[in-house]
Structure 1
Amino acid sequence: MSITDPFWDKAARKYNASKIGNVPAYERTLDHTRAYLTPDANVLEIGCGTASTALLLAPDVAAYTASDISTEMVEIGREKARAAGIDNLRNLHATLGDPQIGPGPYDAVLGFNLLHLMPDVESAARQVHALLKPGGMFISKTACLSGWRGLLRVPIAGMRLFGKAPWVTFMSTEVLESHIRAAGFEIVESFDPSGSPMGHFVAARRL
C-alpha cells in the first residue's frame, strides 16, 4: 500500500468543495485531453485528487484508473464515482511505483497539477514512460514557477515546516519540457490554457 500524505489528507474535504478558478481554461484542458483518448483506451491518472476530472473523462474511454497518494482524496473520489454510477472507473490509493497501479501498459497516463509537486520530475516522467505502450500518450498540466515566482521558495519552505504546504518544485516551462523529452517522449503539443504558465499543458508521445 502506498504511503499517504498528511497535508493532502487534511486538505481533502476543503479541496473537494473548492470551485474551479478558471472554467474556460479547465474546459480547454479537457477538450485537448479528449483529443488523445479513444473509446477503447486504458487510462491511468496519477494525482487524481478527489477524481473530479476522472469522472468527466472516464465515460470517453474503456477503463480509467484514478490514483492518489491521499487516502482521504481517494475515499471522496470513490463516493463520487458510486453516486455518478460510473462503473469503468477505479480509484486507488497509490502513486508511481506502487504495485497496485500495475506494470501497464496503458494507452495514456494523465497528470494534472502534479509534476511541480514531485521532487524529481524527470524520474517521474521515466516511470510514466515505463507504464505506457509504445506510442502511448503522457498528458500533463503543470504549474511552472520561474522568474519572479521563485520568490515563493522561502515562504513555501517555511510553511512546509509546519505542515501547511506540500513540496513544490520550481521550474520554467522550458525545463519542464526538457525533463519530459529526456525521459523518452516526443512533445506533440504544449500551450497555456489560461494564458499563464501556472497551468502549462503538455501532450507527449512515448518514443
Structure 2
Amino acid sequence: MSMAGDAHFWDRISRKYARSAIADQAGYERTLERTRALLGPGDRVLELGCGTGTTALRLAGGVQDYVATDLSAGMIAIAKEKHAAGPVPTLAFRTATAEALAPDAARFNVVLGFNYLHLVRDLPGTLRCIYALLAAEGLFISKTPCLGHMNPLIRSVALPAMRVIGKAPYAGVFRVADLSQHIRAAGFDILATESHASKGNDNRPYVVARKW
C-alpha cells in the first residue's frame, strides 16, 4: 500500500471513524488539558493527522491561528461539516501532509501530532519536515502508539495480514525509546515524556519537544 492507498483507506472508513467512541476519554481529556496549558493566545498552531477535527475544535479557540490537516480528504470533509455546525474563527482545515506543507517553513509556533507518527511511512523524514515548519524555540507535541510494545504475534502476523486485505492502514513499529531517539535526531530537545492513560500504561507517550 502506498501513501495514496493510505489516503484511500482513511477515506473509506472516515464515516465509521467519526461515529466511533474515544477509547480512553479520561486520558484524552488529560491530553487536551495539558496541551491547552502549553498554548498561548498568540500562537500559530499546526495539527497533523487531525482526523475528523475533534481535537482542533476543542483547542483552536485559544490561539491566534490553527491549521488542522489530514492526509484523508474524507476525514477533512467531515471536519469541515463539524466546523460549519460550530464555527471557530481561528480554525482552518486542509487536506495536507507535513511534507506538502514544507514551503511554510518556520511558520508555526506549535506543531501537534496526536495518533500520527506511527502512521507515517518515513518517520525521520517527517520529523525533519516538522522541525522545518516550526519557528525557533517552537514546540512539537506528540502522542502516538508505540507498536513495538505490542504482542509480537499481533504485530508481526495479524497486522500485516490485515493490511494485505485492506482492513488496516500502514503502521510503523517502534518502541518508546526508539521514538525519543528519532525526535532527538531530528534536532529537538525533549522537555517532557508523560503517560496520560487513565488505567495503566498504553505505551502512547505524550512528548513535548522544543526546536532550538
Partner secondary structure for residue 147 of structure 2: coil
Which runs of structure 1 show a deviation greater than 4 angstroms over 4 or more consecutive aligned residues? none
For 1:148 and 1:73, locate their aligned partners in 2 and report how far apart those are by CA, in whole Å.
Answer: 27
Q: Is the contact between residue 9 and residue 72 of structure 1 (CA under 8 Å) also seen in structure 2? A: yes
Task: Identify which of 191, 196, 200 aligns with 2:194.
Answer: 191
Partner secondary structure for residue 98 of structure 2: coil
- Deviations 1:71-104 (CA, angstroms, capped at 9, x unpaired): 1100000111111121211100111121487334
Deviation at 1:197, TM superposition (A): 3.9
Relative to the length of structure 2, the TM-score reads: 0.92
Task: Identify which of 83, 92, 110 aligns with 1:108.
Answer: 110
Is structure 2 residue 177 aligned with structure 1 residue 179?
Answer: no
Is structure 2 residue 93 aligned with structure 1 residue 91?
Answer: yes
Alignment partner, residue 46 of structure 2: 44
Deviation at 1:45, TM superposition (A): 0.3
- Deviations 1:8-45 (CA, angstroms, capped at 9, x unpaired): 00110111111111111001111111122100100000
Is structure 2 residue 25 aligned with structure 1 residue 23?
Answer: yes
Alignment partner, residue 205 of structure 1: 210
One-letter identity of the residue aligned with 1:58: A
One-letter identity of the residue aligned with 1:118: V
Q: Is the contact between residue 150 and residue 170 of structure 1 (CA under 8 Å) also seen in structure 2? A: no
For 1:51 and 1:147, locate their aligned partners in 2 and report how far apart those are by CA, in whole Å.
Answer: 28
For 1:196 and 1:146, locate their aligned partners in 2 and report how far apart those are by CA, in whole Å.
Answer: 14
Alignment partner, residue 82 of structure 1: 84
Relative to the length of structure 1, the TM-score reads: 0.94
Identity of aligned residues (%): 41
Q: Is the contact between residue 26 and residue 193 of structure 1 (CA under 8 Å) also seen in structure 2? A: yes
| Corresponding residue pairs, total | 206
Between stretches 38-47 and 141-150, larger displacement belongs to 141-150
Deviation at 1:159, TM superposition (A): 1.2
For 1:150 and 1:65, locate their aligned partners in 2 and report how far apart those are by CA, in whole Å.
Answer: 37
Q: Is the contact between residue 102 and residue 133 of structure 2 (CA under 8 Å) also seen in structure 1? A: no
For 1:184 and 1:99, locate their aligned partners in 2 and report how far apart those are by CA, in whole Å.
Answer: 19
Superposed CA RMSD in Å reads 1.7
Task: Identify which of 160, 164, 168 aligns with 2:167.
Answer: 164
In structure 2, the gaps of 5 or more residues are none
